[in-house]
Amino acid sequence: MKYAAGTAGRVFYLHIEHGEDPIKIINSFVRENEIRSGVIHLIGAVKKGTLVTGPKEDVLPPDPHREDIGLAHEVIGTGFIRSGDDGPAIHLHVSAGRGGKALTGCLRETAEVYIIIEAVIMEFLGIDIPVVPDEKTAMMLPDPVSV
């Protein structure tokens, strides 16, 4: 286990509107406000998007299994803001449901809001969460540091 300790900083409420891309909006907001690390919580709906719902098989390195959202789904999500080589980036997981179907996974690439997504971002102070290459998984994984 690794950990870092810090304090809460600024808190932001975002109202992401119908037709906007929540991934793009949140990434831009984080960069514009120089949020180096933090947590994201959101609720709302998307009508388009792609979720990585796990690996195709339980092997390392993983080959991601993707599911597309093609119709409006209600979503609830949480994620982290971490630092990368080209500035802060978000890692966002959501559960998306429509009728009797539900998907949970990492919201990737692009998505499109249906009506509204409300997001709260809480900045961490005194914590840096860089992502570093992990040899075993062939992925970029977090390596938290108290600063």
Burial class (CB in 10 A: 0-12, 13-18, 19+), 43: middle
Residue 30 burial class via C-beta count within 10 angstroms: exposed 0-12, middle 13-18, buried 19 and up: buried
Q: Which domains does the chain have, with CATH numbers?
A: 21-126 (3.30.1330.80)
What predicted TM-score, i.e. pTM, was given to this entire model?
A: 0.92
What DSSP line would sit under 79-138, residue for residue? EEEEEETTEEEEEEEEEEEETTEEEEEEEEEEEEEEEEEEEEEEEEESEE-BEEEETTTT
Q: Which residue has the tokens 């709906």?
A: 45
pLDDT number for residue 120? 99
Average pLDDT per block of 10 residues along the chain, 147 residues long = 96 99 97 97 98 96 95 98 89 97 94 98 96 90 91
Confidence (pLDDT) at 86: 85
